[in-house]
Each structure stands twice: as structure tokens, then as C-alpha cells.
């Protein structure tokens, strides 16, 4: 039988890079894309494509089962603020299985709980959720400086100061990133996401800031792995962030060569520790 993998595709470049990695391993990719999140470009990189709305969990499972999928991955993010939009029933048209999970079974809406609940629902129908780096382990950041420039003494001190604070914030499920300047926490990521937190920090601190992005201690490699890419570098530059610290072996770096070139050009240091 032909080996295949289900791809539950969110936003960003990660779903495309995963699909490329799977096909390079001679794996057929059956993708389920989310309207308003997944790039239409995904169609060029997969063998089969289905579209659903954000909360249509039942349809998601039916699409995968109709193609004989028994293993799947989640790749790419979702816009968290959408959960607070007006009239979500009209916009996302949740089916009965989605309603049961999101509105009845799950008591809190943090990422770990919601995505874990989705994994359990998939398992009930014989679909195992695998690590999202299954065919792309090379995307994980290696320890060391990812750019030509290393952190300055001042930047290193701000990283040392902010790192344990960032780990505490992520432990409470608040967000993955904080921004520091002169041993002061300028901004903390919450539901708005990393990019908007960085932009807010840039306005408040007028540049010269250090960003730190980390994951939970019990990070589940099936979902919600901290991720950066070329667009992150553009946001760092626009926000006046001079240095970004990430976790080695626990952070995805998409399009590494492009990230390095863009960061060097922008004078931004990126270090994995």
C-alpha cells in the first residue's frame, strides 16, 4: 500500500515545507486546509487537498478517513484572536463534533488543551497525530549563533535577565515571547501573537530591544512549536529589535538561509541557546 500522511495545514510557510519534506521521503500528502488561514499555494505541494472552516472538526476527520489516512500532523499556526470574533458560529460554521469539543468538552481554551483535545478526537477514529517535524527535523534550530553577528555584552545581559521570566510566562500559558530593554520587560506576548507584541514593544521602547521566544517545558512536538522565519526578521527590523534569543532544538527556523541573510542585512542577531 502507498504510504501517506495527513497534513492539517495552518498558516505560514511551515505546512509547505513539511509537505516538501514528506514528498522527498516518497510519502503521499493528504492536506486539509483551513479557510482564511492556509495559503492557497499549498495546493502545489500536496497530492490531495480538502478545505474546511476553522471549527469543522467532524469534516476534518471525515476528509482524512475518506483517503485512508491513519497518521497525521499539524503544521502552521492559527490566528488566536479569531476565537473572540463576533458571531463565530456564522463565520466558522462549526459542525456537531466541533461544537461538542470546543464548547462542551474543553473547559479552557489555551493552545495545549485545545490541540490536545483535537488529537484525542482524531485518535478515536484511528488517526494518530505524529510529531510535526516527522519529515523535517532539519528545521529545528541548532545551538549557537544563527547570524554573523553575535550578541553584544548589553544584549547578552538582557537575554540573561529575560530568559527565566519568559520561561515563567510560557509556563502559565500566557505567550511564547517577551521583549526586554535595559533589564525592563517592555512587552509580553498574549493572544495577539508574537509579531504584534514585537511591534508594540518597538513603539514603546523606541528601538534597541531584545526579544526572547521560548516554549513550554513540556513542549509537545505535535503542535505549537515556537517558530520563526523570514517574516519574523522583517518584523524584528521594523520594531527596532536588535537581538532575538530562541531555544535550540525546540524552535523551528523556516527557510534558514533566507533568515540568516535577512538578519545579517538588517543588523539583527539571532542566537539559539
Q: What is the pTM of this model?
A: 0.91
Q: Quick: pLDDT tens for 227-239.
A: 999 999 999 999 9
The residues that bridge with 218 in the sheet, in sequence order, are none
Confidence (pLDDT) at 24: 96
Confidence (pLDDT) at 82: 64
Confidence (pLDDT) at 222: 94
Alpha-carbon gap, residue 177 to 199, rounded angstroms:
12
> Contact, 136 vs 142, CB < 8 A?
no
Rounded alpha-carbon distances, angstroms, from residue 237 to 24, 74, 155 = 34, 29, 15
Q: Quick: pLDDT tens for 98-147.
A: 888 877 777 676 777 888 889 999 999 999 999 999 999 999 999 999 99
Confidence (pLDDT) at 106: 73
Confidence (pLDDT) at 223: 87
The fold of 140-272 is: Cytidine Deaminase; domain 2 (3.40.140)
Domain ranges of the chain: 4-129, 140-272
- What SS3 state is found at 185? strand
Q: How far apart are the first and last CA of the chain?
A: 42
- Where the chain has pLDDT below 70, the residues are 1, 80-92, 107, 109
Cβ neighbors of 17 (< 8 A, separation 6 or more) are 75, 136, 139, 254, 255
Helix (H) or strand (E) holding 51: strand 48-52
* CATH number for the domain formed by residue range(s) 4-129: 3.40.50.20
What sign does the CA torsion over 201, 224, 17, 145 have?
positive
Amino acid at each position: 500500500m502507498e504510504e501517506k500522511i495527513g497534513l492539517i495545514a495552518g498558516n505560514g510557510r511551515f505546512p509547505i515545507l513539511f509537505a516538501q519534506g514528506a514528498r522527498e521521503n516518497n510519502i503521499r500528502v493528504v492536506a486539509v486546509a483551513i479557510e482564511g488561514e492556509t495559503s492557497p499555494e499549498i495546493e502545489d505541494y500536496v497530492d490531495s487537498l480538502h478545505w474546511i472552516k476553522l471549527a469543522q472538526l467532524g469534516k476534518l476527520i471525515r476528509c482524512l478517513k475518506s483517503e485512508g489516512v491513519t497518521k497525521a500532523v499539524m503544521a502552521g499556526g492559527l490566528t488566536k484572536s479569531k476565537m473572540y470574533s463576533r458571531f463565530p458560529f456564522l463565520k466558522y460554521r462549526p459542525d456537531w463534533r466541533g461544537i461538542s469539543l470546543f464548547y462542551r468538552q474543553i473547559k479552557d481554551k489555551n493552545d495545549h488543551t485545545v490541540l490536545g483535545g483535537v488529537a484525542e478526537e482524531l485518535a478515536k477514529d484511528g488517526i494518530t497525530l505524529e510529531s510535526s517535524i516527522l519529515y523535517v527535523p532539519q528545521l529545528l534550530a541548532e545551538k549557537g549563533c544563527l547570524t554573523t553577528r553575535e550578541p553584544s555584552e548589553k544584549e547578552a545581559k538582557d537575554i540573561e535577565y529575560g530568559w527565566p521570566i519568559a520561561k515563567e510566562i510560557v509556563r502559565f500559558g500566557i505567550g511564547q515571547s517577551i521583549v526586554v530593554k535595559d533589564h525592563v520587560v517592555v512587552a509580553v506576548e498574549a493572544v495577539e501573537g508574537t509579531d504584534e507584541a514585537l511591534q508594540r514593544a518597538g513603539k514603546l521602547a523606541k528601538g534597541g530591544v531584545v526579544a526572547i521566544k521560548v516554549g513550554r517545558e513540556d513542549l509537545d512536538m505535535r503542535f505549537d512549536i515556537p517558530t520563526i522565519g523570514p517574516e519574523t526578521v522583517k518584523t524584528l527590523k521594523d520594531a527596532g529589535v536588535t537581538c532575538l534569543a530562541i531555544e535550540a532544538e525546540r524552535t523551528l527556523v523556516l527557510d534558514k538561509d533566507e533568515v540568516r541573510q535577512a538578519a545579517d542585512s538588517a543588523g539583527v542577531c539571532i542566537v539559539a541557546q
